[in-house]
Amino acid sequence: MSSHLVRRRPAVVRQEGPATRRAAERPRQGQQDAASALPALRTSAVFTATGSSARGLTAAEAAGRRAVHGPNELPAVKRGRPWRRFVAQFTDLFAIVLLVSSALTFLAYWLGRPREPATLQLALAILCVVLLNAGIGFAQEYSAERTAQSLRAMVPHTCRVLRDGERRELPARELVPGDVVILEAGDAVPADCRLVEAHEAAVNNAALTGESDPVARVAEAVPPGPPLEARNCVWMGTDLVAGTGKAVVFGTGAATEFGRIFRLTAAAPRQRTPLQRQVAVMARRVAGAALATGAALFAIRAPSGQPFVDTFVFSLGVMVALVPEGLPATLSVSLAIGVRRMARRHALVKQLLAVEALGSTSVICTDKTGTLTQAEMTVVQLWADGVSHSVTGVGYAPAGEVADPGPVRELLRAAALCCNARLVPPSGREPWRVLGDTTEGALLVAAGKAGLDPAREEARTPRVAEYPFDSVRKLMSTVHRDGDGGHFAYVKGAPVELLARCDAMDRAGKRAPLTETERAGVVAAADGMAGQGLRVLGVARRQVAGPRPPLEDVETRLTLLGLVAMYDPPRPEVRDAVDACRRAGIRIVMVTGDHPLTAEAVARRVGIVRDPAPTLVTGARLDALDDDSLDDLLAGSVELLLCRVAPEHKLRVVTALQRRGEVVAVTGDGANDAPALKHADIGVAMGASGTDVAREAAVMVLLDDSFASIGTAVGLGRSVYRNIRKFLIYLFSHNIAELVPILAATFAGFPLVPITAVQILAIDLGSDVLPALALGAEPMEPDVMNSPPRPRHERLFSAAVMGRIVFLGGIQALGVCAVFFWHIHASGIPYADFTKSDPVYREAITMVQAGIVVSQFFNALAVRTDRQSVFRAGLLTNPWLLAAGCFGIGLMAAISYVPPLQAVFHTAPLDPADWAVLAGLGALLLVAEECRKGVLRRRAAAPKGGTR
Ligand code: ATP
């Protein structure tokens, strides 16, 4: 259960100070008393007990209560004091190895006779490495948390409330006890509330009780009992998964049941992504290899007659130098950059995991309305009794006309009565908009264009019962009392479902039996409109016996009033995004509750369908297929549209695609989409229009709801993966260039080292860090969507990557070995006569260090592409990388020329000819790598090629 508690975010979480805590605790007792008394009260008494009314609170009353009860927020989860978290960084395996090494080096310095300043320098350098690493880790953790918080704040948690008798949308933190909230399926319950109206309502109480089956909720009084078991209460942190309702708030913020339990739970442990785990394993392996190398070097050099302490310190230094200390931090930074870039492009990633998975997405199952289209519905055509009526105007502004409105007035009146949405007049720069379902908004607008006033109609025939829309029935019904005390049910929904429940049609106000020919005529009319890409709804009516008839009596033997068709323009940016996905080998499957003809027309408009005969599969056909046949269907059809499906079908298709080894991203907005969103590799929820439940279940939230943002996020995910691979090749190849000269010198019997541990540390933590970060932040390459998706189980350290590390590292190593031994030999001094202070030796080791730094500059340019020539890709396209490389060379120059640094690093000033030689070696590396890429390009001339 605790996992639910920490995963969920029922209300805004804020930092809590002692004063606000006390303020929040004061009213809690009163709220708890209310909680135990309210379930047994009748609806009218609930309003009295909470000092509220059926019109909700007034704005002034709400402000007063807010001052007493504070905002409806939970206290922030504390992750421990900063100093503790800083200290925790030292418990990491690397940190421990390095701390022990530093202590041993200090000890060696202390015991050494005479005491060598170089040993002390090394001990201090290692300590600096540990501190630096801990600092980076700590800062990284903090910024990751802040990013997560700020990203979360970008999707505000809002709710619908009655204030001064008006329906408003407010941030959930504004709620106070006494507020009347309006709940719909998919809403997260924003506070503890007692229901005063419930229509087929059911909640998922998993966050509180661990029980995830939906439980029905009612509005009537129930006998006293434990508050959590009261069937007429809903609790903060739980979700309304079906139906609709109205409820009076009695507990807010920390005074809610959820708030009480929330305090008791600890923060969720941060989870590492598979990529982070792979890198951690690799880093650990390299650290193990470093330890073994250090031990081996010690074993080889100890008998050579060198002082024991020198050999020990040297071996320890090599070991420390080879440990890839900064790697995990660089990786996190790179992933975090990816997350930020995605957020800037409207895709909020809730888990780092999604950044990786996005890169290998091979199928996107997408909704239609709102994702491919603008979800701006306009009724353009009406059909009643065999006659079509056009409607003019665009959007939700009430400007436009219905041609010959007389025969369709009853159709539009019924449609408008059977709606929960509300039109909001323009304010400031905002045009007319809809609060609620856009399909219903369009019906209200059309009714207005026919001269009807939905509010007046509602007042004349008040609603007494509601059977909310659900995507399985595909119908919604309401029951109204007319002026004579009779009751009428109005039903609207998908034409096929509705027609199956009609036995008559309205003919000039009279109920006439529906013949088979007429039925076929209705279907043809509906198909004709759907074929133009319009969403079609049928509307029907019947008289019912009383105010609350059972659903079976309402939705049967109906009289069809007519059809309503609405246009929802495609989003202009989607076509390009669909094309990009095609080029990237990503399959797009449209999943919609709409009619197949509507679906096909829209899919064609946005480019998802090009084939003259795409595969159209309805929910009913899916039900008839067993798993094997479904697999065959998915394997056989490239262009697949799933139509008239319910959310359960989504889950089945996602699972089947995953069985085929696909990495599936799926979009969803309703409460019923949650299982598919959770099951998919990447659940994508809609930030603007989706439900709270879907947003909770998803790992990515689209701020603009657009399919194009998914395409961009996939591209960015691929780019993050590529960048990580680039800096891993860059960092690991120079390890080879550091190690090989040491081994070569040892085996050649040279008594000193060709590069000291302090020099290696200067490379690892000085000149190499910034280029690695700059590689991790490389801009998205234009061709990133030109290759097929990365296989699901491809390892980061694949044979190709390892081969490249050895290739690049090997060339660097050969180069620096050559300059070192050339210097030594050119001097003519026998190996045994070399001492640490020998100017030739100092020059030679300076050449080795500078050689690695310079060749790393060229290496950084080389790793930017896999196959394409870097000259074609553009050498100047990542200015940060060039700046970082120049900084590294500048640092090296300072180490070579500045006397205090010369003293620390045992270096000597290089002359221009030396730099020219090193630059030549670096250029050679670039040329060798260009040749390798040329060979690869030629081999992959067949168009199948993978990465660039
Ligand atoms: P899309 O892919 O377009 O987003 P969807 O999968 O969300 O569609 P639903 O919202 O389940 O589809 O709608 C299915 C059908 O139900 C629609 O084609 C329409 O005929 C009908 N319908 C949609 N909204 C309502 C509503 N509020 N009341 C009654 N019927 C509706």
Strand (E) or helix (H) holding 426:
none
Distance from C-alpha of 924 to C-alpha of 901, rounded to nearest angstrom? 29
Q: Among the listed ranges 191-205, 277-291, 330-344, 533-547, which one has the minimum average pLDDT value?
A: 277-291
Cα of 646 from ligand 1 centre, angstroms: 10
Cα of 608 from ligand 1 centre, angstroms: 20
| Confidence at 204, pLDDT banded by 50, 70, 90 | confident
Is the pLDDT at 265 greater than 50? The verdict is no
Q: By alpha-carbon position, which residue is closest to atom 17 of ligand 1?
A: 594
Q: Return the ligand 1 atom nearest residue 474 CA.
A: 16
Is the pLDDT at 602 greater than 80? The verdict is yes
Q: Is 263 exposed, middle or buried (0-12, 13-18, 19+ CB in 10 A)?
A: exposed
Regarding the domain delimited by 378-567, which CATH topology (the fold level of the hierarchy) does it fall under?
A: Calcium-transporting ATPase, cytoplasmic domain N (3.40.1110)
Q: Which of 27, 45, 48 is nearest to 192 (CA)?
A: 27
Q: By alpha-carbon position, which residue is closest to atom 12 of ligand 1?
A: 593
- pLDDT 10s digits, 108-118: 888 877 777 77
Beta strands in 173-324 (DSSP E): 180-184, 192-204, 215-216, 233-234, 239-251
Q: Which of 708, 706, 730, 736 is nearest to 778 (CA)?
A: 730
Q: Return the ligand 1 atom nearest residue 537 CA.
A: 20
Pairwise pLDDT comparison (232 vs 208), residue with the higher score: 232
Q: By alpha-carbon position, which residue is closest to atom 29 of ligand 1?
A: 493
* 357-373+571-705 CATH: 3.40.50.1000
Q: How far is CA 242 from the centre of its chain?
A: 26
Residue 478, phi then psi, degrees to nearest 5: -135, 150
Q: Return the ligand 1 atom nearest residue 419 CA.
A: 27
Top mutation candidate among 376, 419, 474, 650 for ligand 1, by most atoms within 8 Å of CB: 474
Q: Which residue has the tokens 């908004």?
A: 441
pLDDT score recorded for residue 272: 58
Please list every protein residue whose CB sits less than 6 Å from any atom of ligand 1: 367-369, 437, 439-440, 469, 471, 474, 476, 492-494, 535, 537, 592-595
> How many other CB atoms are there within 10 angstroms of residue 940's CB atom?
14
DSSP, collapsed to helix, strand or coil, labels residue 779 as coil
Distance from C-alpha of 385 to C-alpha of 41, rounded to nearest angstrom? 49
- pLDDT 10s digits, 453-485: 999 999 999 999 999 998 888 999 999 998 888
| Confidence at 144, pLDDT banded by 50, 70, 90 | low
Residues 6+ apart with CB under 8 A from 77: 6, 13, 262, 265, 266, 267
Regarding the domain delimited by 324-334+713-780+797-948, which CATH topology (the fold level of the hierarchy) does it fall under?
A: Calcium-transporting ATPase, transmembrane domain (1.20.1110)
Determine what percent of the chain is predicted with pLDDT higher than 70. Answer: 90
Residues 6+ apart with CB under 8 A from 143: 336
Q: Which of 77, 74, 64, 82 is nearest to 20 (CA)?
A: 74
DSSP, collapsed to helix, strand or coil, labels residue 849 as helix
Distance from C-alpha of 784 to C-alpha of 667, rounded to nearest angstrom? 23
Cα of 369 from ligand 1 centre, angstroms: 9
Pairwise pLDDT comparison (237 vs 156), residue with the higher score: 237
Cα of 628 from ligand 1 centre, angstroms: 29
Residue 286, phi then psi, degrees to nearest 5: -65, -40
Q: Return the ligand 1 atom nearest residue 371 CA.
A: 4
Q: By alpha-carbon position, which residue is closest to atom 2 of ligand 1?
A: 592
Residues 6+ apart with CB under 8 A from 768: 730, 731, 734, 856, 888
Mean local confidence (pLDDT), 436-454: 93
Top mutation candidate among 199, 374, 469 for ligand 1, by most atoms within 8 Å of CB: 469
Residues 6+ apart with CB under 8 A from 799: none
Q: Among the listed ranges 164-168, 301-305, 579-583, 687-691, which one has the minimum average pLDDT value?
A: 301-305
- Indicate the average pLDDT of the chain: 85
* CB-CB contact of 864 with 878 (8 Å): yes
Is the pLDDT at 446 greater than 90? The verdict is yes
Cα of 561 from ligand 1 centre, angstroms: 19
Mean local confidence (pLDDT), 489-513: 94
Q: Return the ligand 1 atom nearest residue 590 CA.
A: 2
pLDDT score recorded for residue 911: 92
- pLDDT 10s digits, 51-77: 899 899 999 999 999 998 888 887 665
Residue 617, phi then psi, degrees to nearest 5: -120, 125
Q: Which of 368, 379, 423 is nearest to 564 (CA)?
A: 379
Could you tell me the residue ranges of all domains in the chain? 324-334+713-780+797-948, 357-373+571-705, 378-567
DSSP-derived pairing of the beta strands 239-251 and 180-184: antiparallel
| Confidence at 8, pLDDT banded by 50, 70, 90 | very low
- pLDDT 10s digits, 632-682: 998 887 889 999 988 789 899 999 999 988 899 999 887 778 888 888 989
Distance from C-alpha of 521 to C-alpha of 839, rounded to nearest angstrom? 101
| Confidence at 875, pLDDT banded by 50, 70, 90 | confident
pLDDT score recorded for residue 150: 64
Mean local confidence (pLDDT), 17-36: 51
Cα of 593 from ligand 1 centre, angstroms: 6
Top mutation candidate among 366, 592, 597 for ligand 1, by most atoms within 8 Å of CB: 592
Q: By alpha-carbon position, which residue is closest to atom 4 of ligand 1?
A: 369
Q: Among the listed ranges 300-309, 707-716, 828-837, which one has the minimum average pLDDT value?
A: 300-309
- 357-373+571-705 matches 324-334+713-780+797-948 in CATH topology: no
Distance from C-alpha of 26 to C-alpha of 16, rounded to nearest angstrom? 15
* CB-CB contact of 394 with 446 (8 Å): no
Q: By alpha-carbon position, which residue is closest to atom 24 of ligand 1?
A: 439
DSSP, collapsed to helix, strand or coil, labels residue 136 as helix
Q: Give me 390's structure tokens.
A: 């056009």
Distance from C-alpha of 697 to C-alpha of 848, rounded to nearest angstrom? 54
Q: Which of 313, 210, 213 is nearest to 261 (CA)?
A: 210
The C-alpha torsion from 254 through 228 and 1 to 181, rounded to 10°, is: -60
Beta bridge partners of residue 430, listed in sequence order: 427
How big is the CA angle at 771 (ends 770 and 776), to the nearest 5 degrees?
95
| Confidence at 418, pLDDT banded by 50, 70, 90 | very high
pLDDT score recorded for residue 627: 92
Residue 348, phi then psi, degrees to nearest 5: -90, 120
Is the pLDDT at 945 greater than 70? The verdict is no
Q: Which of 875, 877, 891 is nearest to 926 (CA)?
A: 875
* CB-CB contact of 500 with 555 (8 Å): no
Q: Return the ligand 1 atom nearest residue 591 CA.
A: 2
Cα of 471 from ligand 1 centre, angstroms: 7
Q: Give me 682's structure tokens.
A: 């990447």
Is the pLDDT at 931 greater than 70? The verdict is yes
Cα of 474 from ligand 1 centre, angstroms: 6
Q: Return the ligand 1 atom nearest residue 469 CA.
A: 28
Q: Is 213 a catalytic residue?
A: no
Q: Give me 598's structure tokens.
A: 């509507």
Q: Which of 177, 140, 456 is nearest to 328 (CA)?
A: 140
Listing DSSP states for 191-206 in one string gives SEEEEEEEEEEEEE-H
Distance from C-alpha of 586 to C-alpha of 363, rounded to nearest angstrom? 5
* CB-CB contact of 731 with 804 (8 Å): no
Is the pLDDT at 227 greater than 50? The verdict is yes
Mean local confidence (pLDDT), 409-424: 93
* CB-CB contact of 734 with 809 (8 Å): yes
Q: Among the listed ranges 58-67, 363-372, 783-792, which one has the minimum average pLDDT value?
A: 783-792
Q: By alpha-carbon position, which residue is closest to atom 25 of ligand 1?
A: 493
Q: Return the ligand 1 atom nearest residue 495 CA.
A: 20
Cα of 395 from ligand 1 centre, angstroms: 18
Q: By alpha-carbon position, which residue is closest to atom 13 of ligand 1?
A: 593
Determine what percent of the chain is predicted with pLDDT higher than 90. Answer: 42
Inter-axis angle of helices 596-606 and 574-583, nearest 10: 80
Distance from C-alpha of 943 to C-alpha of 799, rounded to nearest angstrom? 22
Active-site residue (options: 179, 239, 310, 367): 367
Distance from C-alpha of 148 to C-alpha of 670, rounded to nearest angstrom? 24
Q: By alpha-carbon position, which residue is closest to atom 30 of ligand 1?
A: 493
Residue 324, phi then psi, degrees to nearest 5: -80, 75
Residues 6+ apart with CB under 8 A from 733: 804, 805, 806, 808, 809, 812, 859
Measured in residues, the chain has a length of 948
Q: Among the listed ranges 294-308, 599-613, 690-704, which one has the minimum average pLDDT value?
A: 294-308
* CB-CB contact of 489 with 539 (8 Å): no
Residue 835, phi then psi, degrees to nearest 5: -125, 170
Cα of 890 from ligand 1 centre, angstroms: 64
